[in-house]
């Protein structure tokens, strides 16, 4: 069963008289426990598609469903709330705050939630990604692969259904990239999340349950 679904989604940008159809009638779905990897040339619409799945932008046409609920016409506030409780993000350049420890970085997206012991959950997640001995380290005291592990732990703090990753191995050497991919593969089962990633990294395809190719805004 799909946790996220795009149905005939189109996205048109109009800037200064120029019209770009970044997405053209895209159908896409992902289920918990699977890793879907989206590949395509530069400018093909990958980030635009990830923004639709992540509820960061709204389509020009088509429907978006989250856990089978149509969220296309939700207000910006409603989308923010849905995003916070349902979707985790991992970025190519980690996006960690330099002044905060690993634990504090992981806790950050859950600051609004007073109902759980955030510190404990953050530490548990960091231990799960092999950083139990790095809890108090700041990002500059960590390696690239360790920083990405912190970012992955952070993406899971609100127990999301979906984890979105834009080039998660883009700033890592091949060997470190591989360990991150192994980590994601393990987490997709352990945390029962759908992982949707965008990449240029050919080795990511090996770890994908499904590969989606996009060219000029159209899925092949």
Contact residues for 80 (Cβ-Cβ < 8 A; gap 6+):
none
User: Which tokens is 20 given?
Assistant: 């770009």
Q: 47 or 185, CB closer to Mg ion?
A: 47
- The C-alpha atoms of residue 45 and residue 113 are separated, in whole angstroms, by 34
Nearer to Mg ion, 167 or 191 (CB): 167
Contact 126, 183 (CB under 8 A): no
φ, ψ (nearest 5 deg) of residue 80: -60, -45
Residue 176 within binding range of Mg ion, rule CB under 5 A: no
Residue of 44, 86, 105, 148 interacting with ligand ATP (CB under 6 A): 44
The three-point CA angle 21-162-119 to 5° equals 135
- For ligand ATP, give the closer residue by CB, 33 or 170: 170
Nearer residue to ligand ATP within complex by CB, 13 or 192: 13
Taking alpha carbons only, the member of 131, 199, 159, 173 closest to residue 32 is: 159
Q: Mark the segment that binds Mg ion (CB under 5 A) among 10-18, 47-55, 79-87, 127-135.
A: 47-55
Which of 40, 139 has the CB closer to Mg ion?
A: 40
Among 47, 58, 72, 82, interactor with Mg ion by CB under 5 A? 47
Candidates 10-18, 45-53, 72-80, 85-93: pick the segment binding Mg ion (CB under 5 A): 45-53
Write down the H helix ranges in 116-200: 118-128, 144-155, 174-190
Exactly one of 3, 4, 9, 22 binds ligand ATP (CB under 6 A); which one? 22
Which option in ligand ATP, Mg ion, none does residue 43 bind, with CB closer than 5 to 8 A by kind?
ligand ATP
Q: Which is nearer to ligand ATP, 68 or 95 (CB)?
A: 95
Gap between the Cα atoms of 207 and 167, Å rounded: 14
Contact yes or no for 11/59 (Cβ under 8 A): yes
Q: Which does 192 bind (CB under 5 to 8 A by kind): ligand ATP, Mg ion, none?
A: none
Helix (H) or strand (E) segment spanning residue 46? helix 46-53
Contact call for residue 47 and ligand ATP (CB under 6 A) = yes
Note whether 182 and 6 are within 8 A (CB): no
Binding site for Mg ion (CB under 5 A): 47
Binding site for ligand ATP (CB under 6 A): 13, 15, 20, 22, 40, 42-48
């Amino acid at each position: 069963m799909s946790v996220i679904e795009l149905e005939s989604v189109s996205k048109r940008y109009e800037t200064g008289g120029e019209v770009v159809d970044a997405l053209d009638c895209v159908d896409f779905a992902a289920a918990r426990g699977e890793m879907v990897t989206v590949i395509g040339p530069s400018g093909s619409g990958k980030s635009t598609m990830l923004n639709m799945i992540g509820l960061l932008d709204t389509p020009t046409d088509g429907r978006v469903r989250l856990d089978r609920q149509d969220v296309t016409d939700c207000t910006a506030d409603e989308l923010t709330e849905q995003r916070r409780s349902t979707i985790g993000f991992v970025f190519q350049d980690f996006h960690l705050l330099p002044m905060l420890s690993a634990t504090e970085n992981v806790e950050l997206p859950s600051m609004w939630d007073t109902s759980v012991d955030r510190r404990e959950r953050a530490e548990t997640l960091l231990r799960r990604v092999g950083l139990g001995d790095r809890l108090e380290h700041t990002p500059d005291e960590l390696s690239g692969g360790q920083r990405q592990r912190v970012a992955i732990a952070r993406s899971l703090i609100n127990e999301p259904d979906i984890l979105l990753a834009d080039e998660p191995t883009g700033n890592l050497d091949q060997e470190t990239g591989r360990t991150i991919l192994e980590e994601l593969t393990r987490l997709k089962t352990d945390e029962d999340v759908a992982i949707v990633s965008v990449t240029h990294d050919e080795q990511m395809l090996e770890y994908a349950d499904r590969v989606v190719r996009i060219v000029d805004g159209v899925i092949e």
